[in-house]
Amino acid sequence: MKVLNLGSLNIDKTYTVDHFAEAGETIQATTYAEFCGGKGLNQSIALAKAGAEVFHAGCVGQDGAALIETLESAGVKTELIRTNHEPSGHAVIQVNHSGQNKIMIFGGANTHIPPGYIDQVLEHFHRGDMLLLQNEISNVSYAIEQAKEKGLTVVFNPSPISSSITHYNLSKTDYFILNEVEGRKLAGTCTEDAREILLELQKKYPNSVFVLTLGDKGSYYADETTVFYQEIFPSDVIDTTGAGDTFTGYFLAGIARGRSAREAMRYASLASSLSVSRPGASPSIPDEEEVCRILAQKEKELQMVH
Ligand code: RIB
């Protein structure tokens, strides 16, 4: 199964701060670094590192060469990426001492993706391949509809969630991968209870599979017949940026490579816990060898306890 990720590519301008700036306040950052990011790019890198055959499609500006090179060096196929006349997308990210972040994105080239380009990209994919989308590019809904018509498995990570999502035809989505905030908004509920969020989502989209991530509270998988919980693997938190993207990439690579949902969730959970223990979004994504080694070690420790 080939994976097509039609997704954003951002230059992440990352600042370490003592506390997040409030309205009207000017603060001094303690460190500054630039990383390659964007939910799309991060998820493609996680997919490739987890062993999937992944093609990234999307747009960068004339200043986007490093974004393409970073994808290539992680093993992502980049020949479908187009360079347009907009500046590349970028993100301004504040990271505080507990590793939490506040992110502002400027879409740039990511928001100038025309339907004609999506048609051309989809010509390279067929029934049984997978299309992954996040909500940082233009024409998401068009891509979902065209891909579904061709028989692709459609995966949507509605992040960042926006009111425009209400106009998308999401009943054609096979998998939703989303966090609590996104889950609540999509389901149209205020409940704090993750199981209730899942139930509401299932009522609205009865044919879809859901992966609901809850940060340091773990995650849930739910399909028509099964619901199960996956705990986190605790780690020292340095920077949570890109943790959800790492989870998404690892989970989908597992599914694309024929792992069971339980196995894929376990791999995804460990990979994202490793990513939060390191700075940056894409540079913090672990490779498969490390994830497998640590997972085997953890399973051995568990067997010794029982
Ligand atoms: O999910 C993290 C990503 O969100 C960052 O890399 C940033 O670019 C924004 O898209």
Q: Is 12 near ligand 1, meaning CB less than 6 Å away? A: yes
Q: Report pLDDT for 5.
A: 98
From first CA to last CA, the distance across the chain in angstroms is 38
Which atom of ligand 1 is least distant from the CA of 12? 8
Q: Is 42 near ligand 1, meaning CB less than 6 Å away? A: yes
How many angstroms separate the alpha carbon of residue 164 from the centre of ligand 1?
19
Q: What are the tokens at 217? A: 């509270």
- Among 223, 177, 229, residue whose Cα is nearest residue 202: 223
How many angstroms separate the alpha carbon of residue 275 from the centre of ligand 1?
13
* CB of 210 closer than 8 Å to CB of 202: yes
Q: Report pLDDT for 166.
A: 86
Q: Report pLDDT for 301.
A: 86
Q: What are the tokens at 129? A: 């391949």
Q: Report pLDDT for 128.
A: 94
Q: Is 59 near ligand 1, meaning CB less than 6 Å away? A: no
CA atoms within 13 A on the CB side of 13: 9
- Among 122, 158, 151, residue whose Cα is nearest residue 137: 158
Q: Is 94 near ligand 1, meaning CB less than 6 Å away? A: no
Pocket test for ligand 1, best of 13, 134, 181, 241 (most atoms within 8 A of CB): 241
* CB of 164 closer than 8 Å to CB of 136: no
Instruction: State the DSSP code for 279.
Output: S
Q: Which H or E element spans position 104?
A: strand 101-106
Q: Is 242 near ligand 1, meaning CB less than 6 Å away? A: yes
Q: What are the tokens at 115? A: 């339907």
Out of 12, 129, 239, 245, which one is annotated catalytic? 245
Digit-by-digit pLDDT tens for the chain (306 residues) are 999 999 999 999 999 999 999 999 999 999 999 999 999 999 999 999 999 999 999 999 999 999 999 999 999 999 999 999 999 999 999 999 999 999 999 999 999 999 999 999 999 999 999 999 999 999 999 999 999 999 999 999 999 999 989 889 999 999 999 999 999 999 999 999 999 999 999 999 999 999 999 999 999 999 999 999 999 999 999 999 999 999 999 999 999 999 999 999 999 999 999 999 999 999 999 999 999 999 999 888 888 877
Residues 6+ apart with CB under 8 A from 306: none
CA atoms within 13 A on the CB side of 217: 10
How many angstroms separate the alpha carbon of residue 241 from the centre of ligand 1?
7
How many angstroms separate the alpha carbon of residue 191 from the centre of ligand 1?
26
Q: From atom 9 of ligand 1, which residue's Cα is the shortest distance away?
A: 38
The residue to which tokens 């490779």 are assigned? 287
Which atom of ligand 1 is least distant from the CA of 89? 8
245 among known catalytic residues:
yes
At 213, is the secondary structure helix, strand, or coil?
strand
How many angstroms separate the alpha carbon of residue 24 from the centre of ligand 1?
25
Strands 82-83 and 59-60: parallel
How many angstroms separate the alpha carbon of residue 112 from the centre of ligand 1?
18
Q: Is 239 near ligand 1, meaning CB less than 6 Å away? A: no
Cα dihedral sign for 85, 159, 281, 223?
Answer: negative
* CB of 179 closer than 8 Å to CB of 243: no
Q: What are the tokens at 66? A: 């490093």
Q: From atom 8 of ligand 1, which residue's Cα is the shortest distance away?
A: 38
